Amino acid sequence: MSIKDISRAKSAELYEKAKTYFPGGVNSPVRAFKSVYGTPLFIEKGNGSHIWDADGNEFIDFCCSWGPLILGHANAAIIEKVTEVMQKGMSFGAPTALENELAELILSNNKFIKKIRFTSSGTEAVMSAIRLARGYTKRDKILKFEGCYHGHSDSLLVKAGSGLVTFGETSSAGVPVAFANETIVVSLDDTNALDNAFAEFKDQIAAVIIEPIPANNGLLLQSREYLQYLRDICTQNGTLLIFDEVISGFRVGFEGAAGVYGIQPDIITYGKIIGGGLPVGAYGASAEVMDHISPVGSVYQAGTLSGNPVAMAAGIAQLKQLLKPGFYENLNATTAAFVTDIRQYADGKGYPVKLFTIGSIFWFAFTDQESISTAEQIDPNGMVKFKEMHRELLNRGVYMGPSGYEVGFISSAHTAADLETTKTAIFDSLDIVFK
């Protein structure tokens, strides 16, 4: 049964004010709740798996800041380490031992990269990885996939154009057509499209970039065979393969998707979890590839706040906890059980909704299809159902990212009780959506 909407009076007031300061009242577009019901919630605090908004509503949080918070909010060890480090100064623009410590933690537990460079966001990491690939191969074109997101740099705000194999079209005003002309866009899970692209642009493609676990436009899981095909075709053509693991890195396992699928990319980008909730991105590769970066190499890349000590401290405190034995096994098993229960409920009722999952990521797809591996397979009409569900879930104290194209995350702070409460809220919400 539908229940009363939560009060959003304070959030609405803050939002009106914010609209006078920021375009659309926000500093990142999806936060504006354009795809779901009502005014965006202004969050006041978080603790563990729970968040509270400005009106005092409490929620179990499955957005987790869009992925970084794999240990939940205000993790005690992260707070302790960050507090200790920040007392000694916030930034020096000079090397610190903390950068070595985070790098050591990563490189000694990840066989897929040998050297790393820290940036301040995922976008920056990807942008730099693309430049590195171009500098390394001395080629200009890159190939990306429809349905993968790689941040907001010009070369990657490009979507599929018309025709079988074409240059992309810009997906944002302000991106020069000349940039889009260097970016080839093809469908996921389609080896023919890859063959055609490599035939048409022989010896011109510097890099192929993919989210090996595409999780920014639904969860479009690819087969290992497909990813291996991609690996092989890149090798045959002297093209670098970039795994954009800004979401999947440290999420599906410490070694990310490269570890899960056992595939060695040429460059890997990280973000989100790596910074423990503070702004950190990174890209890594073999020493040979990485040494093309300045100051040793000719590919320029820099950052005033890159390797910031406070951000490094948060990353160190977070990643250390992820390395504890059983961390991923437990989190992934918890997620699998949660998803199975919801799928069973929905299937039992005959509701056309499926949950797709890997690691501690899940996605609600309002569809009858048993699998979805390309952006084209997503039914836009399903988003209307998601919007209804989102409202019902908020009213029942469950916060999901405000778009049906976004995935949900489970953190180690989610308790069995949280997940039971959430399942009940989801069952009741689905009953309303499909009544």
Ligand X SMILES: *Cc1c(COP(=O)(O)O)cnc(C)c1O
> Which residues are identified as catalytic?
149, 244, 272
118 binds ligand X (CB under 6 A): no
Q: Which two tokens stand for residue 395?
A: 């009213």
Cα 176 to Cα 369: distance, rounded to the nearest angstrom: 38
Report in angstroms how near the CB of residue 29 gets to ligand X at its nearest: 11
Among the candidate windows 54-62, 78-86, 149-157, 175-183, which touches ligand X by CB under 6 A? 149-157
136 lies in the site for ligand X, by CB under 6 A? no
Q: By CB under 6 A, what part of segment 151-170 binds ligand X? A: 151
Among the listed residues 32, 36, 106, 126, the single contact to ligand X using CB under 6 A:
126
Instruction: Select from 116-124, 250-258, 314-322, 391-399 the region that touches ligand X (CB under 6 A).
Output: 116-124
How many whole angstroms separate alpha carbon 340 and alpha carbon 325? 25
216 binds ligand X, rule: CB under 6 A: yes
Query: Given the complex with ligand X, which of 40 and 151 has the nearer CB atom?
Result: 151
Task: Work out how close the CB of 275 gets to ligand X at its nearest, in angstroms, rounded to a whole number.
Answer: 9
CB of 237 to ligand X, least distance (A): 23
Instruction: Determine the interface stretch with ligand X among 97-105, 145-153, 289-297, 310-318 (rule: CB under 6 A).
Output: 145-153
Q: Least distance from C-beta 126 to ligand X, angstroms? A: 5
Give the C-alpha separation, 424 to 352, whole Å: 18
CB-based burial label for 109 (10 Å; 0-12, 13-18, 19+): middle
Residue 231: CA count within 13 A, CB half-sphere: 16
Closest approach, Cβ 6 to ligand X, in A, equals 28
Asked if 408 is part of the footprint of ligand X (rule: CB under 6 A), the reply reads no
146 binds ligand X (CB under 6 A): no
Q: Is 306 in the site for ligand X (CB under 6 A)?
A: no
Is the N-terminal amide bond of 295 cis, ω within 30° of 0?
yes
Site for ligand X in 370-389 (CB under 6 A): none
Q: How many CB atoms lie within 10 A of CB 6?
A: 20
Of the ranges 86-94, 121-129, 201-209, 391-399, which one interacts with ligand X (CB under 6 A)? 121-129
Which residues have C-beta within 8 Å of that of residue 236, sequence separation ≥ 6?
none
46-77 residues labelled b (16+ CB within 10 A) or e (exposed): bebbbbbbbbebebbbbbbebbbbbbbbebee
The DSSP bridge pattern shows strands 361-365 and 169-170 to be unpaired
Does the protein bind ligand X through residue 406 (CB under 6 A)?
A: no
Contact 184, 144 (CB under 8 A): yes
- Report the residue number, 388 or 406, with the smaller CB distance to ligand X: 406
Residue 82 sits in the site that holds ligand X (CB under 6 A): no
For residue 401, give the nearest of 218, 208, 209 by alpha carbon: 218
Single-letter amino acid code for the residue at 213? I
Phi then psi for residue 242, to 5 deg, are -105, 120
284 binds ligand X (CB under 6 A): no
CB of 60 to ligand X, least distance (A): 22
Angle at alpha carbon of residue 55, lines to 420 and 11, rounded to 5° = 110
Q: Is 280 a binder of ligand X (CB under 6 A)? A: no
Q: By Cβ distance, which residue is nearest to ligand X?
A: 122
Minimum CB separation from ligand X for residue 255, in Å? 16
Residue 207 burial by CB count (10 A; 0-12/13-18/19+): exposed, middle or buried? buried
- Only segment of 118-126, 294-302, 322-330, 384-392 that touches ligand X (CB under 6 A): 118-126
Length of the chain: 435
Residue choice 149, 261, 270, 362 for contact with ligand X (CB under 6 A): 149
Nearer to ligand X, 166 or 171 (CB): 171
- Binding flag, residue 247, ligand X (CB under 6 A): yes
- Taking the complex as a whole, the smallest distance from the CB of residue 304 to ligand X amounts, in Å, to 16
Find the binder of ligand X among 53, 99, 244, 255 (CB under 6 A). 244
Interface with ligand X, residue 255, by CB under 6 A: no
- What single-letter DSSP state applies at residue 361? E
Question: Which residue from 45, 44, 39, 46 is spatially nearest to 18, judged by alpha carbons?
Answer: 39
Stretch that binds ligand X, among 33-41, 115-123, 219-227, 373-381 (CB under 6 A): 115-123
Q: Which two tokens stand for residue 152?
A: 């907001």
Query: If binding means CB under 6 A, how many residues of this protein chain bind ligand X?
Result: 14
Contacts of 52 (CB under 8 A, 6+ apart): 43, 44, 45, 46, 58, 59
Helix (H) or strand (E) holding 186: strand 183-186
Residues that bind ligand X (CB under 6 A): 121-123, 126, 149-151, 211, 216, 244, 246-247, 271, 281
